[in-house]
Amino acid sequence: MKKRRQIVTVSVMALIAVLSALIWTNREMFTPLDVGSRAPDYVARSLDGDTVSLSSFAGEVIVLNIWATWCRPCVIEMPALQRLHEELSDAGLRVVAVSVDAPAGVVGSFGESGGDVAGFVESLGLTFTVLHDPTGRIESRYQVYGLPTTYIIDRQGRIQRKELGARDWDEPPLADQIRQLVEG
């Protein structure tokens, strides 16, 4: 009986150790991501097939927009993001839009049809950085609970603003805050 209790105790302790190690190595998933937090690095493919990481834009102000072609509010705000990009990209603003569309011809996890992200980008004449994440890794990495979700990240890599829903990014007060970050 005593031997059995020792085996159970050791097994429980081993399980706790394994779970603790798993939580520790994946702690960014359990830590709230909010204003003031360091923006986690993220890697995805561009529409050209290149691997792009957020850390490659270090020192720039980043507007990180998570969206999908089937999301009507996402579609509505894209022209404002393009205008913001055109106005401030030379001053150090980087607009990075990450599509979470399923691949074209594939039905996504919520029953939505996969989108033609490249065709969408071309039809709107978008010239900022567009990445495609059909696995939705960015949604868990950035704790996204709805689309569109946008993060404003300062030159030091800290989140300055988080917005859920479509916004007029090229209008005050949002454009003013972004302009201050870029010029500051």
Rounded CA separation 43/129 (Å): 13
CATH superfamily of 36-183: Glutaredoxin (3.40.30.10)
Count the neighbouring beta carbons within 10 Å of the beta carbon of residue 43.
Answer: 15
Rounded CA separation 5/92 (Å): 63
Q: Give the pLDDT band (50/70/90) at residue 24.
A: confident
Residue given tokens 């994946």 in the structure block = 26
Q: What is the pLDDT of residues 71-84, one digit of tens each?
A: 999 999 999 999 99
Q: What is the pLDDT of residues 123-136, one digit of tens each?
A: 999 999 999 999 99
Question: Sign of torsion, CA 170 156 140 130?
Answer: positive
Instruction: Say what the pLDDT of residue 19 is.
Output: 79
Count the neighbouring beta carbons within 10 Å of the beta carbon of residue 4.
Answer: 8
Rounded CA separation 31/35 (Å): 13
Q: Domain residues of the chain, as ranges?
A: 1-31, 36-183
Cβ(134)–Cβ(102) under 8 Å? yes
Rounded CA separation 156/114 (Å): 35
Strand arrangement of the beta sheet that strand 61-67 belongs to: 51-53, 43-46, 129-132, 93-99, 61-67, 149-153, 159-164
pLDDT of 27 above 80 = no
- Helix residue spans in 35-183 (DSSP H): 72-88, 117-124, 137-141, 174-183
